[in-house]
Structure 1
Amino acid sequence: MDGRAGRRCGTAAALALVAALALVGCGSGADGQQDSAGAPAANGDAANGGAADRDGAASAPEGAGAGAPDLRVDQRAIIYTGTMRVQVNDVDEAARDAAAAATRVGGFVGGDQRRSAEADAVAELQLRVPAAKFTAVVEEIAKLGKQQSREISTQDATEETVDLDARITSQRARVDSARRLLERATSITDLVSLENELGRREADLASLEAKKRRLADLTALSTITVSLVGPAVKTAEEKDDTGFLVGLRGGWKAFVVSMTVLLTVLGALLPWLVALGVPLTVLLLVLRRRRKTPALVAPVSAPPPVPAARSAP
């Protein structure tokens, strides 16, 4: 019994030792595999996370910009329009200086109308200048003489610009779609119908693009209408339109104009009066003389009859 018990205990101890060694080996192998597998996973996650962060950082501005337009003040589409009236001593010289002020900043003269005179000369200039230089040019023109009036207006065209861009993009997609359908047309009816539709869509696209170019021109170049007047030209406030002297002056001007018209008409008729009046006058005189000549000659009357002699009773 003791020998068997000793052998059983020895066998059990051996089995327990083998099992313990196996468990230790398996645990070590599992831990090694877990460590070796966990490190690449962590490194992969870190790499993916860094790449995701970089991609997110790179794509963030695009997403923000595509979602809504940039509505900052310096990014808005503003149309500036100005009207000025400046009284100067020399209108021609001031007009040259105003045109030079516009061309110096990259603009140009869009219109130039002048009325030459000594003291009441007037020059009307339409200047197109970049929007960023609008205020500077206005201030420079105001220093050419005595500024009598100034009116500046602005129009915010940002929403219209964004709307046009969206409509142009959509219309281009419609044109491309119509072209693809036209390429796959198999019948004459479909071909004609698609050609008409494509032409209509292309015409709408051209109209939208023309509006966009016009709007871009207005926002890129501002308009300044400048009136340069001589020292003798009065403003509307300085003019007196009532009173006895004003009425007398107006009546005298009307009388002078009427006499001028009358003399002009007489001057135009005088050659005809000379050419036709002289012969007609001579003819009338001759006829009158012929009528008076028979009346001056007395008619010869017959002698009175002699009475017959009476016979004696």
Structure 2
Amino acid sequence: MSRLPTTRLRAAGILTAITMTALLAACSSGSGDGAGDSSAADSVASSGSGGGSDSSGGTARELGDRSTAKDAGSRTGSAPGGGPTTPEMQRAVISSGAVSLSTDDVRATRQEVQRIVDAQSGDVAEENTESDERGDASYSRLVVRVPSAKFAATMQALEDTATLRSSTRGSEDVTTQVIDTGVRVRAQEASLERVELLLAEADSLKDVIWIESQLTSRQAELDSLKSQQSYLEDQTSLSTITVDISQVDVFEDDPEGQDDRPAGFLSGLDGGMKAMGAVLVAVLTILGALLPFAVAALVLGLPLWLVVRRRRAAAAPAEVADA
């Protein structure tokens, strides 16, 4: 009778080991793993029949540890030699550039820039175009966004669009900032879940008010972190390029027009007319400058001249009478 509990314990241990072995065999995808699990089951059965419940429990724990290790290996991956591999960290870089172009046809260059951006799966985020008095485009400024993987190719294509005046490029590695923000977002989300559980279990008004204040502040911090995360994702996935297009006046020599210039007597007459016109302009300029002074002298000198003339006229009869 005293051996009955021991027999039952051994049977329970064997049953548990067989059940776990069956589960491992069902989850196994290779025939080699199945064979290994079967041999493990045989060893468990033999040890259970002769070693008691302690050995059965130890074997079951060993099988559980092997299952956990196998799952961890399947999640992390394995190298061709059998060792685990570490996933390569992807860098997060913010790239930006500026291109300044000059051309005699701003509108055509603007269309070419648009074609390049469309070919690179980009988009024009901002545009500012100015026109001259004739309605033709004289200046255009565009801010374009292109995928970061195509940043270098887009810059090269834009530099070849027209006459290049200047080109600048810059990049900023924000990998650490992206990782840190992601970790803080996950930690804040877990913290919010814990606070929500505390709020559900609160049984007094004081606790409810305090927990809600904590919930509000942590939610605001989470929203701020997610905004930073979205901004970093946008800046690292799309690069920003500023394109300035200026108009340049091109003067071409015209030999045919030079033949139409007057020569000989006509050339001298044309030069004399131009010289006389220049002299006339100079004389008129001087007269225009002296005219205000002449008017002032006339206004002030005329009354003085009249007074002097009257005195001379009055003095003349007196001189005659004395004579």
Match of 1:203 among 220, 239, 251: 220
Change (3 A) 1:68 1:165: farther
1:215 correspondence with 2:215: no
Once the two structures are superposed, the pairs formed by residues 16-27 of structure 1 within 5 Å of their partners are none
- Correspondence 1:157-196 to 2 at 5 A: 157-196=174-213
The separation in 1 between residues aligned to 2:211 and 2:86, in whole angstroms, is 35
Q: Is the 8 A contact 2:139 2:247 kept in 1?
A: yes
CA offset digits 1:84-106 (Å, max 9, x no partner): 11112211111122122212322
DSSP 3-state at the match of 1:178:
helix
What amino acid sits opposite 1:190 in the alignment? D
The question of 1:106 aligning with 2:106 is answered no
Runs (5+) with no aligned partner, structure 2: 1-38, 47-58, 79-84, 251-323
When normalised by structure 1's length, the TM-score is: 0.54
Code of the aligned partner of 1:172: E
User: Using a 3 Å threshold, how does the CA distance of structure 1 residues 41 and 133 change in structure 2: closer, same or farther?
Assistant: same
What is aligned with 2:42?
40
- Asked if 1 retains the 8 angstrom alpha-carbon contact of 2:126 and 2:144, the reply is yes
Change (3 A) 1:40 1:89: same
Contact in 2 for aligned 1:110/1:127 (Cα 8 Å): yes
Q: Which runs of 5+ in 1 are unaligned?
A: 1-36, 234-313
State how far apart, in whole Å, the 1-side matches of 2:69 and 2:228 are: 42
Structure with more contact order per residue of length (Cα contacts < 8 Å, sep ≥ 6): 1
How far apart in 2 are the matches of 1:173 and 1:68?
A: 26
Secondary structure at 1:223 match in 2: strand
Residue 74 of structure 2 aligns to which amino acid in structure 1?
Answer: A
Listed one character per residue, the Cα deviations across residues 4-32 of structure 1 (whole Å, up to 9, x for unaligned) are: xxxxxxxxxxxxxxxxxxxxxxxxxxxxx
Aligned partners of 2:141 and 2:245 also within 8 Å: yes
Query: Share of identical aligned residues, percent?
Result: 26
Match of 1:26 in 2: none
CA shift digits 1:113-158 (9 cap, x unpaired) = 1122379921110001110111111111111111111100001011
What SS does the aligned partner of 1:150 have? strand
**Match status 1:128 vs 2:130:** no
Q: State TM-score, norm by structure 2.
A: 0.52
Contact between 1:87 and 1:231, CA under 8 Å: does it hold in 2? Answer: yes
| Paired letter, 2:43 | A
Question: Aligned to 1:229, which of 222, 227, 246?
Answer: 246
Give 1:54 shift. Answer: 4.4
